[in-house]
Structure 1
Amino acid sequence: MISEKKLAEKRLTEAYNNAKIEYFDNNSKYIFFSDCHRGDSTPSDEFAKNQNIFLWALEFYYNNGYTYVELGDGDELWEHSNFKDIRLAHDEIYSLLKKFFDSNRLIMLYGNHNICLKYNSFVQKNYYKFYDDYNEEEIELFPGLIPYEAVVFKHRNTGQEILTVHGHQGDRMNDKLWGFTMLTVRYFWRYLHSIGFINPASPVKNSGKIHKIERIYSDWIKMNKIMVICGHTHRPHFPKVNELPYFNDGSCVRASGIQGIEIIDGKIMLIEWRIRTDSSGDLHIRRRVLRGPKPIETFDLRNNKANKTSDSEKPLM
């Protein structure tokens, strides 16, 4: 059997070779989120607790001209086979995502938990339009939506490339054996999940599995000299000095809030949105920068520039 390292190298290379190309420059604005795992608002729906934070953040990014990039596992389609239940539970989210879509500022990738989005028939049936029971009419949602496994962001001027994937590529149980793992989640782990148990196939609370994935992806980056932004592990990561340019945007289901990656003015940063109190004790949703910003060109391995700037920041845990 092929090793997980070789499998990941093969799958990442396949994803890169078949990726959609998205050209950008220093005037481009992107927000990368992943691992929302939007569910049906039942106890197993981890996203529900952060829905208002996410909605506030999306409003900010829409009003400020960002393109929204969802790096997989946006919808929890392993636990819930009916997308209608998810859409109804988070109707305001989809209304705002539609505004991004209608203004050509939505890029959607699929991960392991919504891998069925790679099938056009499923996307067309569930995401193009929906039936509004109240008004008794069909309403367009994302007509013509094409979810991707991978997108390569390519700088118009420098040619620097950034590979974006969900990050499950090469994780055998969540990639090659996803059908089996999905069934165990839907009919067994879903119910244990609601009372705090974690599926052992998930890397989320398995530090050994997380570090293994990070090492394998870093090896691919070193070999191919291409920067990577992904999700999947739920562990945010922004490279320190002399580390390879492996970025992870965290997740939207952590108790502390939601994390993401921003690209603006040719710079990249790791950010977090969470609820904080002011001096009067009032609650507010606030954005803060966790790491960065740093010029993207400093992570261009082709010119041996990557991460040569000083950085005294501590690693994220």
Structure 2
Amino acid sequence: MISEKKLAEKRLTEAYNNAKIEYFDNNSKYIFFSDCHRGDSTPSDEFAKNQNTFLFALEFYFNNGYTYVEAGDGDELWESSNFKAIRLAHDEVYSLLKKFFDSNRLIMLYGNHNIYLKYKNFVKKNYYKFYDDYNQEDVELFPGITPYEAVVFKHKNTGQEILTVHGHQGDRMNDKLWHFTRLTVRYFWRYLHSIGFINPASPVRNAEKIHKIERIYSNWIEMNKIMVICGHTHRPHFPKVEELPYFNDGSCVRASGIQGIEIVDGKIMLIEWSIRYDPSGDLHIRKKILRGPKPIEEFDLRTNKTNIVK
């Protein structure tokens, strides 16, 4: 059997070779979130507690001209195959996502928990439109949307590339064996999950597995000289000095808040939105910069670099 290291190298290279190309420059603005795991409002719906924080943050990014990149596992389709229930549970979220879509500022990737989005018929049936029971008519949601496994962000002037994937590529139980893992989640771990137990196939709260994934991805980065942004492990990561450019945008299901990665003014930063109190006891949603900002060009590993056109 092929090792997970070799499997990840193969899968990441395949994802890179088949990726959508998104050109950007120093005037571009992106916010990357992943691992929302939007559920159906049952006790296992981890996103529900952070929905208001997410809405507040996303409204900020929409009003300030950002493109929203959802880097996989936006919808929890392993625990619930009924997307209608998920959409109804988080109707305001989808209304806001539609505003991004209608403004041509939504890039959606699929991960292991919403891998059904790789199937065009599933996307067409569930995401193009929905039936409004109250008004008894079809309403457009994301007509014609194409979710991707990978997107390569390529700088218009320097040619520097950033590979964005969910991060499950090469994680055998969540990649090649996802059919089996999905069944265990839907019919067993979902119920234990609601009372605090974690599926052992998941890297979440499994430090050994998280570090293994980070090492494997860093090895691919070193071999290919390409920066990577991903999610999957739920562990936010911004490389220290001398570390390889492996970035992880965290998740939207932590009790502390939601983490993400911003690219703006040619710089990258790791951020967190959370609920905080002021001296009077009032609660406010605030953004905190956890790491950065750092110029993206600092993470360009190529030996032959193109100078930025002034």
- Same topology, TM > 0.5: yes
Letter matched to residue 36 of structure 1: C
Counterpart position of 2:308: none
Matched, 1:249 2:249: yes
Counterpart position of 1:146: 146
Counterpart position of 1:62: 62
Distance (whole Å) between structure 1 residues aligned to residue 128 and residue 94 of structure 2: 12
Counterpart position of 1:184: 184
Letter matched to residue 216 of structure 1: I
1:80-102 C-alpha deviation (Å, 9 max, x unpaired): 01100000000000000000000
1:37-85 C-alpha deviation (Å, 9 max, x unpaired): 0001111000000000000000000000000000000000000011000
SS in 1 for 2:183: helix
Distance (whole Å) between structure 2 residues aligned to residue 39 and residue 82 of structure 1: 10
Q: How does 1:216-227 map to 2 (within 5 A)?
A: 216-227=216-227
Counterpart position of 1:228: 228
Q: How does 1:62-211 map to 2 (within 5 A)?
A: 62-211=62-211
Counterpart position of 1:33: 33
Letter matched to residue 18 of structure 2: N
State the number of aligned residues: 305
With normalisation by structure 2, the TM-score equals 0.98
- The CA deviation at 1:303 is 3.6
1:156-201 C-alpha deviation (Å, 9 max, x unpaired): 0000000000000000000000000001100110001001110000
Counterpart position of 1:280: 280
With normalisation by structure 1, the TM-score equals 0.96
- The CA deviation at 1:279 is 1.3
1:19-50 C-alpha deviation (Å, 9 max, x unpaired): 00000000000000000000011110000000
- The CA deviation at 1:138 is 0.4
Distance (whole Å) between structure 1 residues aligned to residue 220 and residue 304 of structure 2: 16
Distance (whole Å) between structure 2 residues aligned to residue 167 and residue 212 of structure 1: 12
SS in 2 for 1:204: coil
- The CA deviation at 1:304 is 8.8
SS in 1 for 2:61: helix
Counterpart position of 1:312: none
Letter matched to residue 24 of structure 2: F
Distance (whole Å) between structure 1 residues aligned to residue 90 and residue 116 of structure 2: 20
Distance (whole Å) between structure 1 residues aligned to residue 303 and residue 295 of structure 2: 14
Structure 1: unaligned runs, 5 residues or longer: 306-317
SS in 2 for 1:11: helix
Distance (whole Å) between structure 1 residues aligned to residue 49 and residue 93 of structure 2: 13
Counterpart position of 1:260: 260
SS in 1 for 2:47: helix
Q: How does 1:275-314 map to 2 (within 5 A)?
A: 275-303=275-303
SS in 2 for 1:292: strand
Distance (whole Å) between structure 2 residues aligned to residue 128 and residue 217 of structure 1: 34
CA-atom RMSD in angstroms = 0.8
SS in 2 for 1:10: helix
Matched, 1:2 2:2: yes
Counterpart position of 2:53: 53
SS in 2 for 1:302: coil
Structure 2: unaligned runs, 5 residues or longer: 306-310
